[in-house]
Structure 1
Amino acid sequence: MKKYDEIHIENLQVFANHGVFPEENKLGQKFLVSAVLYVDTRAAGLQDDLTLSTHYGEVSQFMTSFLQEHTYQLIEAAAEHLTEELLLTFPLLQGISVELKKPWAPVGLPLDTVSVKIERFWHRAYIALGSNLGDKKAYLDMAVESLGEFRGCRVEQVSDYLITAPYGGVEQDDFLNGCLCLRTLLTPEELLSVLHEIEEKAHRKREVRWGPRTLDLDILLYDDLVYDSENLTIPHIEMHLRDFVLEPLSQIAPWVRHPGLGKTVRELAEDLKQKQKK
């Protein structure tokens, strides 16, 4: 994870209506909010220009208004939704840590405060797009548009669409392939679920491995994460073997380094070309 500068807000007092018990929602109580804003302050510091920074006064006002205008039973939910709204509202924020404290929480025991502290960041993911059934371009365009409209996702770049031969030995029509760069607040598993939803909108059927499909969406890279689960492997396990992935990815991210192989996308593409010549 990249190292960012920090702006700290400590123990902002907010009177709000959050809690499991009805009287907490009706009568309200005092909460304390602390936040660490992860930003790049260098330009603002060198030029002494507030417009180049994230205004901690505006952030404090936003947190106060948000917590007073919404009601949650759990402080976990209040912290989660507040953090998301802050990241979506303040464009220079790269990440944020929020601690929401609840003094004198009604647990029937003497204590000063109960708190929840969470940390969330924007992430950068690279997604492979493919289609070889129906209106291929329309399916890819739909995927790009759907991802851009999904809450917590921003499409930053899209490669050209390339016509490529089918992969895997199944006889079928040529593919239209591309890649996009996505800025997202979603976890890898959440992002995978969204991709599957978009594939379902295109009536994707998973009947034959490497077979024809209206829409195929794969997570290639997610920050510099190396991740394995039952449903997902990052980096994509075969991306370095697929020219229909590396060629469009080289258009938008030639310098990005594969966290497992240690080579840039451009280097992986050149390596694959050399292997194919032999």
Structure 2
Amino acid sequence: MVRRSMDAIGQLAQVELTGRSSLYRTAPVDSSGPDYINAVVGLRSTGTAYDLLEGLQRLERDALRERPYRNAPRTLDLDLLLFGDAMIHSATLEVPHPRMGTRAFVLVPLAQVAPQRVDPAALRAVADQPCERLPD
């Protein structure tokens, strides 16, 4: 499902996929349930951050994503981490993603796709969080 979703992101209007990380298995944060599979894609977009968010949310709906409660297990969770150098703080979107700097499952794959966007000190700070790279 994750690899198919990465491909689907590249098919969104106004989007060009520029990179993709390996897949990583991690335990859920602040909840119980099965492990998650995480990844990061790099892309170029000629649309707005809100256009991209709308496309990502459409892909989540297509995967029958439900949001019964915060951090609930879900079929697909697509987060907009960064949008160039934009700083966006609105009711529907916060970029950079507010918790990305504290989560290995975000920083480790992001460092594969955009190493210049990840502070090495931040990677060291999350080194104790299990993040298992899966075979490609």
TM-score, length basis structure 2:
0.89
RMSD (CA atoms): 1.7
The aligned residue for residue 122 of structure 2 is: 268
The aligned residue for residue 11 of structure 2 is: 149
The aligned residue for residue 221 of structure 1 is: 82
**Following the alignment from structure 1 to structure 2, what is the Cα–Cα distance between the partners of residues 265 and 181?**
17
Offset, 1:239? 0.2
Determine if the alignment matches structure 1 residue 252 to structure 2 residue 113. yes
Aligned residues with identical type, % of pairs: 33
**Following the alignment from structure 1 to structure 2, what is the Cα–Cα distance between the partners of residues 178 and 274?**
19
The aligned residue for residue 181 of structure 1 is: 42
Determine if the alignment matches structure 1 residue 158 to structure 2 residue 20. yes
Which structure 2 segments of 5+ residues have no match?
130-136
SS at match of 1:146: helix
Residue pair 1:253, 1:265 contacting (<8 A) in 2 also: no
- Which residue of 4, 15, 33 corresponds with 1:172? 33
SS at match of 1:248: helix
The aligned residue for residue 52 of structure 2 is: 191
Which structure 1 segments of 5+ residues have no match?
1-138, 257-263
Listed one character per residue, the Cα deviations across residues 173-216 of structure 1 (whole Å, up to 9, x for unaligned) are 00000101011112111111100000011000000211100000
Counterpart AA for 1:244: F
Listed one character per residue, the Cα deviations across residues 208-266 of structure 1 (whole Å, up to 9, x for unaligned) are 2111000000011111111111100000000011111011111111212xxxxxxx343
SS at match of 1:183: strand
Offset, 1:142? 2.2
| Structure of higher CA gyration radius | 1
- Which residue of 84, 93, 102 corresponds with 1:232? 93
Q: How does 1:105-116 map to 2 (within 5 A)?
A: none
The structure with the largest strand share of the pair is: 1
The aligned residue for residue 36 of structure 1 is: none
SS at match of 1:251: helix
**Following the alignment from structure 1 to structure 2, what is the Cα–Cα distance between the partners of residues 199 and 218?**
10
Structure of greater relative contact order (alpha carbons < 8 Å, 6+ residues apart): 2
Q: How does 1:1-278 map to 2 (within 5 A)?
A: 139-168=1-30, 170-256=31-117, 264-273=118-127
TM-score, length basis structure 1:
0.45
**Following the alignment from structure 2 to structure 1, what is the Cα–Cα distance between the partners of residues 101 and 83?**
15
SS at match of 2:91: coil
Residue 141 to residue 178, structure 1, CA distance change in 2 (3 Å): same
* Count of matched residue pairs: 130
**Following the alignment from structure 1 to structure 2, what is the Cα–Cα distance between the partners of residues 243 and 165?**
11
